[in-house]
Structure 1
Amino acid sequence: MTEEDKQEMLDYVGVKSTDDFFTDIPEKIRSQKEMNLAPPVSESALIKEFQELSSQNDNIKAYPSFLGAGVYDHYIPSIVDHVISRSEFYTAYTPYQPEISQGELQAIFEFQTMICEITGMEIANSSMYDGGTALAEAALVAATQSKMKRTKILVSEGVHPEALDVLKTYASGPDLTVEQIPLFKGQTDVQALKEAIDENTAGVIVQYPNFYGSIENLREIEHVVHQYKSLFIVSSNPLALGVLAPPGEFGADIVVGDAQPFGIPSQMGGPHCGYFAAAKKLMRKVPGRLVGQTVDEDGRRGFVLTLQAREQHIRRDKATSNICSNQALNALAASVAMSVLGRKGLKQMAVQNVKNTFYLKDKLKKAGISIIDDQPVFNEFVVDLNTAVSDVNKKLRKRGIIGGYDLSAVHSNKSGQMLVCVTELRTKEEIEQFVKELEEAL
């Protein structure tokens, strides 16, 4: 755009400068400085700069990765990319017009159905942004569904610390109190929960398996939660439910999580796809979109957005949530992956994760490396290196290995502790090489 072009447009709308467009914003909160931007460069120079930046990224396809902590390196069937690359899917937006959106609506309906089957719940929505926002939305449902207007949310320290940060941000709006329940030997301390829960507790949130990989005792926790008629909210890795009994069997009211383990690459930490499943009694409180199955006037099966009176675009300030979109493309990727794996394949994949995890555990013990809170886990567990994890990871990286997660980044009292992750993609040779290089790095 030339200066002449700019001036012509300003003259046409009747203003002197672009600043005039912002007069409705109070001057005291408007930035008066020039934006700190680099000078423009040519297209070829810009492409070169981005290529140089991208070359600094580690590619988990090139290096065996033992990093998890919420984002996992799992098998993705090649058909996933083929399906989600179809233009009618990757350009689709919210299917407001069902008569021209049956493919998209059916894909979402199948996602909802599979999430219900995996979690053991009665209904599921059409997806959320990610696991963290799904968890926070679940807390809001717990606070708003009670006629007593309860304001306290109890959260296990085993919940992902980044999800906890999202929850605290959400809770600051309606002025909810978020309290943490400590862990005891790697699991939520049930006695501490009994002491903290009261008549003002809207919901209790635990993660299953928890952030450190340990399997929570949902039956014992559920008994405490429902004594006070609070909502029992479980955040769960959906792949783990291939071997673990689903939260629905333990009386969970809401089950949330991230569908990233199914067909979604780690891709720099996002975008992902959150899922939200609940008991039928909460149907009108569930945030986001619900797709329902129906029949048309000729008796043919069809799909529609249903119960839209819950939604922001219908009820505005009275809506169940301000989330008014979803991750339909990533939900489709998860649906395709789950469909390709099938019931048996999903279980086999989950079992392989367990076997590989315990193979690594055994090798580390024989190497004399200490395991923190050694007990049944899924995917990941904590080791004590007694030295700075960041230094160890740098040494591992030079040896062609992506190391585990440095827990000192989220807890000051966990200095020297590494959260290591093993998936079905790690071979025995890679696991043995990791232990050997870890010994040398130490």
Structure 2
Amino acid sequence: MSHYCPHTPEEIREMLAAIGVGSVEELFAPIPAELRAKSFNLPPGMSEFETFARMRQIAADNDQELTLFIGGGCYDHLIPAVVDHLSGRAEFYTAYTPYQPECSQGTLQALFEYQSAICRLTGLEVSNASLYDGATALAEAAMMALRATNRHRLLVDGCISPFARAVLRTYLANLAVDIVELAPLDGLLNREELAAELDDRAAALLVQYPNVFGCVEDFGAVATQVHGVGGLLVTAVYPVALGILKTPAEMGADIAVGDGQSLGNPLSFGGPSFGFIAARKALIRSMPGRIVGETVDRNGTRGFVLTLQAREQHIKRHKATSNICSNQSLCALRGIIFLTAVGRSGLAELARLNYDKAEYAKTRLAAIPGVTVLQTAPTFNEFTVSLPQPAAPVVAALLEKGVAAGVPLGPYYEGSDNLLVVTVTEKRSKAEIDTLARTLKEALCS
């Protein structure tokens, strides 16, 4: 944590004289000259009023009126007012890591309820108190599988978000792990390639639903295959979609992960968010981070404590499952407030709205000459369209008209320059979807 120390020039001179240094610059002499700042002579400070005025001026340079059809991991969902109100309360907003349970029962109970909600959402038995984001949660799940099976080979579906796969490779770069990426087949897991690669060396298969193309698959049969060779199935999931889709547990998953941004957290230029992870109870001692447990005090009163803190701050370093030193507890708190506010039936209704609006958008875009909607599997609120020309310049043209049309897949998949992933959440109105269709048709015909 940094602090602002408002020392006067005279006070600075007195301190420098006391330690026998002629200038502030001399304090940094041990640092090579080419690595040093050219000058520490900062411009005069501005008043609070002037600072806010300048910040508003800078913010006004951003496009603030875009209609968003972009997904790919971050989603433009409604956030109930209660989420901001409760998460902004001082006892939560300023709370630090709850090492002292006698002082932290409110935070601990909130995290306990969060874990319980994640277990209900995924159908699995245990959850930790959150992780940084969905991509790092996937990497942590992969390392869980490596530890639990004592194997060194991972099979990774190429339909997983390319951003998450990049984080996974970074996490495992210095470990003796063989990562086998399975090339997508028509926007789905290539099951023939899986059968050829799957053997008793595999620690786990990593999959995602809905996947990067928006497609939804049932991995029940795949789970049976993986378990047949002693491996684990890790599923990355979109939590809002679980309002109407099968849970990871129902598909036979051993570990489920995802990004909680869609649960009450704003887009905020890509963060912060939180990652969630849940697993079968047998894997709990391989789970990273920390877990909040329920107990009773000596008077029999219900209470909450941190338990199974399998990180290097609490146990011998070589036995730690992770070096996670903190997490995204405030964002996770927003997640449990959101889930509590919408409730079980509300989440199903929210998911249905996303599905129905995306289906309407499909019909509107499919009616445009030259545009084809990928129809190899059901989708949730994201779907892939093939355009008659490269997608990137088309997206750029629509941005000029205030429409963020989606994510071009060309940079991430060879031969996919014409493919565009479009996302439709509950916030998109019929008029906005019609505007997307109209502006896209105009851009393609111009």
Give the TM-score, by structure 2 length: 0.91
Paired residues of 2:373 and 2:385 also in contact (CA < 8 A): yes
Change in 2 beyond 3 A, CA 1:9/1:225: farther
Cα distance in 2 between the residues matched to 1:279 and 1:19: 57
Deviation at 1:234, TM superposition (A): 0.4
Paired residues of 2:374 and 2:384 also in contact (CA < 8 A): yes
The AA in structure 1 aligned to 2:71 is G
Partner of 2:219: 218
Cα distance in 2 between the residues matched to 1:247 and 1:13: 63
Partner of 1:312: 312
Q: Please tell me whether residue 337 in structure 1 is matched to residue 338 in structure 2.
A: yes
Cα distance in 1 between the residues matched to 2:291 and 2:73: 26
Stretch moving more, 313-322 or 151-160: 313-322
Q: Please tell me whether residue 51 in structure 1 is matched to residue 56 in structure 2.
A: yes
Instruction: Identify the match of residue 135 of structure 2 among 124, 132, 135.
Output: 132
Change in 2 beyond 3 A, CA 1:426/1:312: same
Paired residues of 1:256 and 1:274 also in contact (CA < 8 A): yes
Partner of 2:267: 266
Deviation at 1:301, TM superposition (A): 1.1
Deviation readout 1:182-232 (Å, 9 max, x if unpaired): 122211011111111222221110001111110123112212211211121
Residue 408 of structure 1: SS of its match in structure 2? coil
Partner of 1:182: 183
Q: Please tell me whether residue 99 in structure 1 is matched to residue 94 in structure 2.
A: no
Partner of 2:280: 279
Cα distance in 2 between the residues matched to 1:302 and 1:209: 38
Deviation at 1:145, TM superposition (A): 1.8
Deviation readout 1:30-52 (Å, 9 max, x if unpaired): 56344378963542676555434
What value does the CA root-mean-square deviation take over the aligned residues?
Answer: 2.2
Q: Which structure 2 residue ranges, 5 or more long, are not aligned?
A: 1-6
Residue 174 of structure 1: SS of its match in structure 2? coil
Residue 204 of structure 1: SS of its match in structure 2? strand
Paired residues of 2:158 and 2:184 also in contact (CA < 8 A): yes
Partner of 1:163: 164
Paired residues of 2:217 and 2:377 also in contact (CA < 8 A): no
Cα distance in 2 between the residues matched to 1:67 and 1:379: 11
Deviation readout 1:8-35 (Å, 9 max, x if unpaired): 4456567787777796xxx8xx563443
The AA in structure 1 aligned to 2:110 is A
Q: Please tell me whether residue 375 in structure 1 is matched to residue 394 in structure 2.
A: no
Cα distance in 2 between the residues matched to 1:12 and 1:231: 63
The AA in structure 1 aligned to 2:292 is V
Partner of 1:432: 434
Instruction: Identify the match of residue 78 of structure 2 among 60, 75, 78.
Output: 75
The AA in structure 1 aligned to 2:315 is R
Deviation at 1:410, TM superposition (A): 2.2
Residue 298 of structure 2: SS of its match in structure 1? coil
Q: How does 1:355-394 map to 2 (within 5 A)?
A: 355-368=356-369, 369-394=371-396
The AA in structure 2 aligned to 1:57 is N
Q: How does 1:192-211 map to 2 (within 5 A)?
A: 192-211=193-212
Deviation at 1:373, TM superposition (A): 4.3
Cα distance in 2 between the residues matched to 1:281 and 1:19: 58
Residue 409 of structure 1: SS of its match in structure 2? coil
Residue 220 of structure 1: SS of its match in structure 2? helix
Deviation at 1:390, TM superposition (A): 3.0
Deviation at 1:364, TM superposition (A): 1.2
Partner of 2:68: 65
Paired residues of 2:292 and 2:307 also in contact (CA < 8 A): yes
Q: Which structure 1 residue ranges, 5 or more long, are not aligned?
A: none
Residue 284 of structure 1: SS of its match in structure 2? helix
Q: How does 1:224-235 map to 2 (within 5 A)?
A: 224-235=225-236
Partner of 1:411: 413
Paired residues of 1:233 and 1:254 also in contact (CA < 8 A): yes
Change in 2 beyond 3 A, CA 1:53/1:374: farther
Stretch moving more, 204-213 or 389-398: 389-398
Cα distance in 1 between the residues matched to 2:232 and 2:363: 38
- Structure 1 segments, 4+ long, off by >4 Å, are 1-8, 10-23, 36-39, 44-49
The AA in structure 1 aligned to 2:342 is L
Q: Please tell me whether residue 326 in structure 1 is matched to residue 331 in structure 2.
A: no
The AA in structure 2 aligned to 1:32 is E
Q: Percent identity?
A: 41
The AA in structure 1 aligned to 2:385 is V
Residue 115 of structure 2: SS of its match in structure 1? helix
Residue 276 of structure 1: SS of its match in structure 2? strand
The AA in structure 1 aligned to 2:89 is R
Deviation at 1:101, TM superposition (A): 0.6
Partner of 1:255: 256
Deviation at 1:235, TM superposition (A): 0.5
Stretch moving more, 343-352 or 412-421: 412-421
Partner of 1:423: 425
Cα distance in 2 between the residues matched to 1:421 and 1:407: 13
The AA in structure 1 aligned to 2:189 is T
Change in 2 beyond 3 A, CA 1:258/1:328: same
Residue 141 of structure 1: SS of its match in structure 2? helix
